[in-house]
Amino acid sequence: MASEPSTGLARPSLSVLASADYIDQLHQLWQQDPTSVSEEWRLFFTGFELAMCPRDCVSADRANDQSRVASLIFAYRNIGHLIAKVNPLEESPTSHPSLDLASFGLTEQHLEQVFDTGHLGGPQRIKLREIIEVLRDIYCRSIGVEYLHIQNVHMRRWLQQEMEPIRNRPQFPPERRIAILEQLIDAELFETFTHGRYVGQKRFSLEGAESLIPALHQFVETAAGTGAEEVVIGMPHRGRLNVLANLLHKPYSLIFHEFEDNLAPDPVGGDGDVKYHRGYSSDYPASNGRTVHLSLTANPSHLEAVNPVVEGRTRAKQRFRGDTVHRRKVLPLLIHGDAAFAGQGLVAETFNLSQLEGYRTGGTVHIVVNNQIGFTTLPGEARSSRYPTDVAKLVEAPIFHVNGDDPEAVCFVVDLALRFRQTFGSDVVIDMLCYRKHGHNEGDEPAFTQPLMYQKIENHPPVRVTYQLQLEQDRVLSLDDSSRLSEEFSDRLYEAFKTVKASCPMPDAMPDHAFAGSWAGLNQPYVFDPVETGVPKAALEEVARALATVPEGFRLNRKVGRRLPEQLEAVTAGGAVDWSLAELLAFGSLLAEGFPVRLSGQDSIRGTFSQRHAAWFDTRSQETYVPLNHIRDGQARFCVYNSMLSEAAVLGFDYGYSLVEPNMLVLWEAQFGDFANGAQVIIDQFISAALDKWQRGSGIVMLLPHGYEGQGPEHSNAYLERYLTLCAEDNIQVCNLTTPAQYFHALRRQLKRGFRRPLVIMAPKSLLRHKRAVSPLSDLVSGHFSEMLDDPTPPEGSTRRLVLCSGKVYYDLIEGREQHGVSDAAIVRVEQFYPFNDALLRALVKHYKGAEQVVWVQEETKNRGGWFFMLPRLLELFPYRKLRYVGREPSASPATGSLRIHREQQAKLVAEALID
Ligand SMILES: Cc1ncc(C[n+]2csc(CCOP(=O)(O)OP(=O)(O)O)c2C)c(N)n1
Ligand SMILES: [Mg+2]
CA of 323 to the centre of ligand 1 (A): 34
- Is the distance from CB of 284 to CB of 230 less than 8 angstroms? no
Pairing of strands 624-625, 597-601: unpaired
Atom of ligand 1 nearest to the CA of 338: 16
Amino acid making up residue 10 = A
Share of the chain above pLDDT 90, in %: 85
CB-CB neighbours of 264 under 10 Å: 15
Q: Where are the alpha helices (H) located in 103-173, listed in sequence order?
A: 128-139, 153-163
Please state whether 322 falls in left (phi above 0), alpha (psi between -120 and 50) or beta. Answer: left
299 alpha carbon – ligand 1 mean position (Å): 13
From the CA of 379, how far away is ligand 1's center (Å)?
A: 13
Which residue(s) pair with 888 in the sheet? 861
Looking at ligand 1, which atom is closest to the CA of residue 340? 15
Whole-number Å distance between alpha carbons of 500 and 210 = 26
Query: pLDDT band at residue 38, thresholds of 50, 70 and 90?
Result: confident
Cβ-contact 220, 411 below 8 angstroms: no
Pocket lined around ligand 1, Cβ cut-off 6 Å: 238, 301-303, 337-340, 369, 371, 373-375, 436, 440
Ligand nearest to the backbone CA of 439: 1
CA of 890 to the centre of ligand 1 (A): 37
Report how far ligand 1's centroid is from the alpha carbon of 191 (Å): 20
**What's the pLDDT at 276?**
82
Q: What CA–CA distance (Å, rounded) separates 839 from 513?
A: 35
pLDDT of residue 267: 44
Residue 666 pLDDT exceeds 60: yes
pLDDT 10s digits, 691-704: 999 999 999 999 99
Instruction: Report the alpha-carbon distance of residue 744 to residue 735 in Å, rounded.
Output: 13
Beta strands in 635-791 (DSSP E): 638-642, 665-669, 701-705, 733-736, 759-763, 775-776, 788-789
Relative to the alpha carbon of 237, which ligand is closest?
1
Burial class (CB in 10 A: 0-12, 13-18, 19+), 63: exposed
How far from 819 is each of 575, 726, 815, 854, 877, CA to CA, in Å? Answer: 26, 38, 6, 21, 30
User: Environment class of residue 37 by beta-carbon count within 10 Å: exposed (0-12), middle (13-18) or buried (19+)?
Assistant: middle
Q: Which atom of ligand 1 is nearest to the CA of 301?
A: 25
What distance in Å separates the CA atoms of residue 844 and residue 266, rounded to the nearest whole number? 39
Burial of 236 (0-12, 13-18, 19+ CB in 10 A): buried
- Tell me the DSSP string of 731-757: --EEEE---HHHHHHHHHHTTSSSB--
- Select the more confidently predicted residue: 705 or 260: 705
Task: Return the axis-axis angle of helices 558-572 and 579-593, rounded to nearest 10°.
Answer: 70
Return the ligand number nearest the Cα of 339: 1
pLDDT at residue 58 greater than cutoff 50:
no
Buried b / exposed e over 207-235, threshold 16 CB at 10 Å, is: bbbbbbbbbbbbbbbbbbbeebbbbbbbb
CA–CA separation, 550 vs 539, rounded Å?
Answer: 19
Burial category of 803 from C-beta neighbours within 10 Å (exposed 0-12, middle 13-18, buried 19 and up) = buried
344 Cα: distance to centroid of ligand 1 (angstroms): 10
Atom of ligand 1 nearest to the CA of 304: 1
Distance CA 279, CA 233 (A): 9
pLDDT tens-digit readout, 609-620? 999 999 999 999
Mapping DSSP to helix (H, G, I), strand (E, B) and coil, where does residue 870 land? Answer: helix
> Whose Cα sits closest to atom 11 in ligand 1?
374
Classify the C-alpha dihedral 468-472-475-478 as positive or negative.
positive
CA 71 vs. chain centroid, Å, equals 41
Q: Return the residue whose CA atom lies nearest to atom 12 of ligand 1.
A: 374
Q: Which atom of ligand 1 is nearest to the CA of 209?
A: 21
Mutate to test the pocket of ligand 1, among 240, 344, 375 (most ligand atoms within 8 A of CB): 375
**DSSP three-state, residue 597:** strand
Please name the residue whose Cα sits nearest to atom 22 of ligand 1: 375
b vs e for 100-139, b when ≥16 Cβ sit within 10 Å of the residue's Cβ?
A: ebebbbbeeebeeeebebbebbeeeebebebbbebbbebb
The pLDDT tens digits for 39-55 are 777 777 776 666 665 55
| Helices 558-572, 537-548: inter-axial angle, 10-degree rounding | 170
Residue pair 471/169 in contact by the 8 Å Cβ criterion: no
Q: What are phi and psi of 247, to 5 degrees?
A: -115, -50
> In the Cβ-directed half-sphere of 92, how many Cα atoms lie within 13 Å?
24
- Expressed in angstroms and rounded, the spacing between residue 417 Cα and the centre of ligand 2 is 22
Between the CA of residue 725 and those of 273, 684, 728, 734, 834, what are the distances in Å? Answer: 20, 10, 8, 11, 10
Q: Could you give the count of Cα atoms lying within 13 Å of 184 in the half-sphere of its Cβ?
A: 27
Using the predicted structure, report yes or no on whether residue 12 has a pLDDT greater than 80: no
How many angstroms separate the CA atoms of 22 and 19, rounded? 5
* Residue pLDDT, tens place only, 621-647: 999 999 999 999 999 999 999 999 999
- pLDDT tens-digit map of 171-188: 999 999 999 999 999 999
Q: How far is CA 318 from CA 216, 311, 315, 654, in A?
A: 21, 10, 5, 14
pLDDT at 9: 41
Ligand 1, atom 1, lies closest to the CA of 302
pLDDT at 197 over 70: yes
Residue 505 has pLDDT above 80, yes or no: no
Ligand 1 centroid, distance to 352 Cα (angstroms):
22
Specify the ligand 1 atom closest to the Cα of 369: 21
- Ligand 1 atom having least distance to the Cα of 305: 1
Model pTM greater than 0.85?
A: yes
- Tell me what the mean pLDDT of segment 565-575 comes to: 96
